[in-house]
Amino acid sequence: MDTYGAIQLTSVSRACAGGLISVIRRKNAVLRVQHVENPGWPKNQRGFFMPISFMLNKGKVPVKIFTDDVDSGSLTQLGNLSQLPFIHSHIAAMPDVHHGIGATVGSVIPTRGAIIPAAVGVDIGCGMNAVRLSLKAHDLPDNLYSIRTAIEQRVPTGFDEHERPSINGSTLNNMGKHLDVITNKHPSLVKMLKNFHRQWGKQLGTLGGGNHFIELCIDEGDDVWVMLHSGSRGVGNAIGRYFIEKAKKDVGRELGQLPDKDLAYFTEGTQHFDDYVEAVGWAQDYAMVNRREMMRLVLDALQRSKALPAFTTTREAINCHHNYVQKEEHFGAEVYLTRKGAISAQLGQLGIIPGSMGAKSYIVRGLGNAQSFCSCSHGAGRRMSRTEAKRRFNTLDLEAQTKGIECRKDKGVVDEIPGAYKDIDVVMQNQSDLVEVVHTLRQVICVKG
């Protein structure tokens, strides 16, 4: 047994053919390796135990981790989370798991009678959208700069927004009416974002910055895809921050008794619980509409480009969240399932798992694995912080690691260098019991904010 802050861990377990190898780590160093007998968990078709897990002592709920590449910060966060009394069955950590703000990125958290706003986070509804085109690789010009520029001119990136809303009036009006209901209950919410009532409409169909992107990709059959990553922009961030602070106030004196202040929660049946469910649902819908509108703008830019022949889109289109909460049924109970950097992988459900800007990405089909709450990773997962990436790498490294890809190669995106992320191939190997690969994509254009 070892101690991570206030959390005592008994083991970190990695599946093997004969049982479980228990590995205890601290700061990436293995402290002890111990063989554990068959724990009675289900096996996959190859005879291996499916979950990868460590257990907390004192009978707390287990955390089942689908990788042995876990940083100590994540172990502490997951351990803290597992002490809460309303966690149902267990917590699942995906193969791209890494330390995050508020909660561990790559975690799946089932709660009964409560929701933790900081676990959902501030990029509410962040997710992916992908569409396959009728274009083939040979239809693309040798020089892709003009296409990248056309996309950048059509879709605002970074802090930019549309001069006026680009989306149709009825959709905008309906969203506005619902938002008014929320802000009428919580007038202080509008103070969380400058020009709140004007900005949310102008940001529909915009990319943002950080790890958000728009890509043109080619699959194993030389088909061309458009893939993009974004969320609920400034308004979602405002909603997230507002209710995270509201939860801390609601918990009151109990806040100091929580293992982490970011684990402040709303209890079902209270007014603020209902208000949060309504607001987070609105933000998740906003994120979905934002990606749909952005995809429309990208396709319009491509169709107007003189560098490409005429094309159509196929039926294979996917739009999925990876930062969200919703009601689902798992292990005999209806729960509020929070996926913090994880996507739904119900049996037969299509999803998108992007690599870094220089690595492969995947269109996958869910296998409905109950141990992961029918979830899988949302990407490769960061290996290091943005600050550390900027310290370790420079623009020459970025050019080398993104060779052959039409993208920004300046210091403003060095923190998004492929070397700052985990190996997507290893991540995919670790979730072969969660999803199956339908298409493997490689980027040829990447637009960053």
State pLDDT tens for residues 222-233: 999 999 999 999
Tokens of 122: 């501030």
Q: Cα-flanking dihedrals φ and ψ of residue 442, to 5°?
A: -125, 135
Quickly state the pLDDT bin for 181 (edges 50, 70, 90).
very high
Q: Is 44 in contact with 26 (CB distance < 8 Å)? A: no
Mean pLDDT value of segment 118-145: 98
How far is it, in rounded angstroms, from Cα 390 to Cα 133? 36
Q: Is 4 in contact with 70 (CB distance < 8 Å)? A: no
Q: What is the pLDDT of residue 316?
A: 66
Mean pLDDT value of segment 65-90: 92
Q: Is 211 labelled as part of a ligand binding site?
A: yes
Quickly state the pLDDT bin for 256 (edges 50, 70, 90).
confident
Quickly state the pLDDT bin for 54 (edges 50, 70, 90).
low
- Give how far Cα 90 sits from Cα of 39, 272, 319, Å: 15, 26, 28
Q: What is the pLDDT of residue 254?
A: 87
Q: Tokens 């296998």 appear where?
A: 367
Q: Is the pLDDT of residue 4 over 50?
A: no
Averaged pLDDT of the chain: 88
Q: Is 116 in contact with 109 (CB distance < 8 Å)? A: yes
Q: Is the pLDDT of residue 93 over 70?
A: yes
Environment class of residue 307 by beta-carbon count within 10 Å: exposed (0-12), middle (13-18) or buried (19+)?
middle
Mean pLDDT value of segment 398-412: 95
Q: Is 394 labelled as part of a ligand binding site?
A: no
Q: Is 356 labelled as part of a ligand binding site?
A: yes
What DSSP string describes 312-338? -EEEEEEEEESEEEEEEEETTEEEEEE
Q: Is 218 labelled as part of a ligand binding site?
A: no
DSSP state of 113: S
Of all residues in the chain, the percent with pLDDT exceeding 70 is: 87
Instruction: Report the catalytic residues.
Output: 378
Considering Cα of 157, then 158, then 163, then 169, what sign does the dihedral take?
A: positive
Q: What is the pLDDT of residues 193-210, one digit of tens each?
A: 999 999 999 999 999 999
Q: What is the pLDDT of residue 52?
A: 54
Q: What is the pLDDT of residue 102?
A: 83
Residue type, 254: E
Q: What is the pLDDT of residue 3?
A: 34
